[in-house]
Amino acid sequence: MSTASHYKPNLRDTYFNLFEFLRVQDTSLGRKPFGDLDEATARQTLESIIPVATGLMSEGFIEGDREGLQFDPKTHTVTLPPKMKACITNYFESGLNLLDLPVHLGGVGAPPSLSWAGFEFVAGSNAAAAYYYLGNVLTRIIDELATDAQKKRFVGPMLERHWGGTMVLTEPDAGSDVGAGRTRATQVKDDLYHLEGVKRFITNGDYDATENIIHLVLARPEGKGPGTRGLSMFIVPKFLVNDDGSLGARNGVFVSNLEKKMGLKASATCELTLGDGVPCQGWLVGNVHDGMRQMFHVIEHARMAVGIKSAATLSTAYLNALAYVKERKQGADLVAAAVDRNAPRVTVINHPDVRRMLLLQKSHAEGMRALVLFAASVQDEVELQGGHRTPEAAEASALSDLLLPLIKGYCSEKTYELLSVSLQCFGGSGYLQDYPIEQYIRDQKIDSLYEGTTHIQALDLLLRKVAKNGGATLQALLERVGRTLKSKEGGAALEAERAALAQAVGSLQEAFNALMEKLGESLYHVGLQGNRLLFALSETIIAWLLVRHAAVAVEKLPGAGETDARFYEGKIASARFFCQEVLPGVGLAAQQVKGSTLMAMELSEDAF
């Protein structure tokens, strides 16, 4: 496989989402607090990412996997393959890091809808490289949460010299139970602390493409209580930073192990040891003990990024499969062969099961992009109304929070499942490294595990996001779906799809009501049925968005040119297929929730 050929972006569908469906040119672009962007500039900005994504970044995708990383336990340093280093350097030289930086930090100030759309191209091309850009995000968070002195020390150098960044939560004995963390923090003076402990599974804990790395670390200060409420967040640089921004001595945070993984091999997943032999200095963020709430600024960004990475992977996998089945000839047409055993061979795309697999991928890939960019447009609303903590943005903020577990949980799980369908389109060739799908599968699996497993996302959805305000946010979202049904968007052309959507909404409400009744028996029912409800809600919302997409396509199709006409026909087909083939599963989920028992929890361990 050509190293530059694997990634296939879908710029046309991105434009459709942003400018034809969401119409961000009317709702977000050029409005404060965002930068001065109009539609033409926004399109040019997204177009400028494509050559970077399909060029050097795509080349690094292959080399990073084949060559992997080098770890020197004596110097505690991680060395990247040359093209992976070049990917990181090129990203900053191209100015792509400026897209999601606010104007006051010298950035473009793009709204989330535009910056997340651009991130899809980066993550789809080389997810391992995309995660090395987290320092950009941490700069924004430190600028928002830190004291003036901390900002002065760290923000400028991080921006100007493109320092890396990590989020440091997990510990060997704690895993996803962050509140069980035992890393200690001892106050030295004011906001300066010494940290001691071991952290595990730290993405890009060290690498040689930047002169410094800023770790945001959760640790428990002396005297603070147990659980997550006793944790505080600290700025821990790899190299200490002098008052003038220059680098000082090596800080006592060292890589003590590099994990050997099934995929995403160019991303340095590290064990970090703090305060062993050399003091590990950390600055209490904002000089306040509010670590978990502060860290959620990073966690929520990471969860959105993981969901987009999953959606981007499915999209390029589908487009690779589509290109292959249009070229590969094998077998005769099913109908023709029944009449004439000597019927000519046809391209694989002419076989019914292949078309079914293609539509399965296409509808989900477009549906995930619709979900992601709809959520991003809600994030636009939050920013336009003053941010998450303002009363004016409360409703939009709650909806943004509700959508996040759908994006992270559903997209990561479903993409891993559907990548096997992508590979199947290639037949035996898909199992070879000649094509990228086998690496996509290996790189994808981690998405359902880190930043909170799928079931953690389900519990977050049900026990926090839905329960937080008595289900009001969920009900408001379903009322939006109801308005689409009442207004009969798409007219007669989409009558069947709206009927399927209405039935799914009814089934979804039955499933939630059944779970609420079962909670009187045991909270275990949430654990047993949580993933099922997460998927059912995700697929209902995706169907709603695809139907609305199709309604736009129905309206525009009559006057469209040939290329656009084929695109709009494809949008209608995606909605039709999803409503016919996927949505009936919501009704099945409702029946399963209603009929569920506690058998699994009552079973003796020895019976397993």
**165: alpha, beta or left? (left if phi > 0; alpha if psi -120 to 50):** beta
Question: What's 597's DSSP letter?
Answer: -
Q: In the 3-class helix/strand/coil scheme, how is 125-141 assigned residue by residue?
A: HCHHHHHHHHHHHHHHH
Q: 294-327 b/e with 16+ CB inside 10 Å = b? A: bbebbbbbbbbbbbbbbbbbbbbbbbbbbebbee
Give the orientation angle of helix 472-487 with respect to helix 495-518, to 10 degrees: 160
Q: Which of 59, 271, 451, 497 is catalytic?
A: 451
Tokens coding 270: 């590290």
Instruction: Output phi, psi for 558, to 5 deg.
Output: -55, -40
Query: Which residues does residue 329 pair with via DSSP β-bridges, in sequence order?
Result: 347
**Separation CA 51–CA 93 (nearest Å):** 13
Q: Is the peptide bond before 33 cis (omega within 30 degrees of 0)?
A: yes
Round to whole Å and give the CA distance between 591 and 596.
8
Report the alpha-carbon distance of residue 322 to residue 425 in Å, rounded. Answer: 8
- Per the structure block, which two tokens stand in for 174? 């704690």
Alpha-carbon distance of 256 to 200, in angstroms, equals 10
Active site (annotated) includes residue 451: yes
- 30: left (phi > 0), else alpha (psi -120 to 50), else beta? left
375: helix, strand or coil: helix
What is the maximal distance between C-alpha atoms in the chain? 87
CA distance 433 to 161: 37
Backbone phi, then psi, for 489, in 5-degree steps? -55, 135
Integer Cα distance of 30 and 530 in angstroms: 40
DSSP string, 152-219: HHHHHHHHHTT-EEEEE---TTTTT-GGG---EEEEEETTEEEEEEEEEEEETS--SSSS-EEEEEEE
SS3 for 341? Answer: coil
Half-sphere exposure of 152 (CA within 13 A, CB side): 6
- Please state the separation of Cα 499 from the chain's center in Å: 31
Q: Which of 184, 157, 303 is nearest to 239 (CA)?
A: 157
Which positions are catalytic?
A: 451
